[in-house]
């Protein structure tokens, strides 16, 4: 389907936004192969942003919340949001709301992944596995160490 008028472009963009929030960059990438004019697409996306249908702050907060629930840390989330075209300022503001929750998110992720080995905190091999897992999930060094220390103290 070729999107050759502003009305058709707007309808298609609203269709995407009706399913879930998108960043402006994300919508542009999804729709660029279907439009005749990039300028017309950019113009319509700008209008949608001015009208509040595209809100990158809201998108970032929703995305971060969903990733935290799934057990991901701030480093990975920030990287993912950058690939979706968000600016560092928007990402940082949205991540600040979760500053006190990263250790508990890391604890939950470890306990879910290593439920059978949760109490094996003395085994170095399993401890390294847990650290690599949390690093892959995007937690920093302090979050990882604090989470594993909390687990160790709970299991004493």
| CATH 3.20.20.100 correct for 56-99 | no
- Side-chain half-sphere exposure of 99, counting CA atoms within 13 A: 6
Write out residues in the chain with pLDDT < 70, as ranges: 1-3, 116-122, 156
pLDDT digits (tens, 9 = 90+) for 82-116: 999 999 999 999 999 998 899 999 999 998 888 76
Q: Which CATH architecture has domain 6-50?
A: Orthogonal Bundle (1.10)
**pLDDT of the residue at 121:** 57
* Contact predicate 63/81, CB 8 Å: yes
Q: What is the pTM of this model?
A: 0.84
Q: How far apart are CA 66 and CA 112, in angstroms?
A: 17
């Amino acid at each position: 389907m070729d999107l050759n008028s502003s009305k058709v472009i707007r309808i298609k963009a609203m269709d995407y936004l009706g399913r879930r929030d998108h960043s402006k960059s994300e919508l542009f990438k999804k729709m660029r192969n279907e439009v005749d004019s990039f300028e017309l697409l950019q113009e319509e996306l700008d209008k949608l942003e001015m009208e509040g249908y595209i809100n990158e702050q809201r998108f970032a907060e929703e995305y971060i919340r969903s990733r935290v629930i799934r057990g991901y840390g701030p480093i990975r989330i920030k990287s993912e949001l950058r690939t979706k075209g968000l600016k560092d300022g928007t990402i940082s503001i949205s991540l600040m709301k979760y500053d006190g929750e990263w250790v508990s998110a890391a604890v939950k992720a470890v306990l879910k992944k290593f439920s059978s080995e949760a109490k094996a905190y003395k085994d170095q091999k399993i401890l390294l596995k847990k650290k690599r897992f949390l690093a892959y999930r995007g937690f920093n060094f302090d979050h990882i160490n604090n989470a594993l220390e909390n687990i160790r103290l709970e299991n004493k």
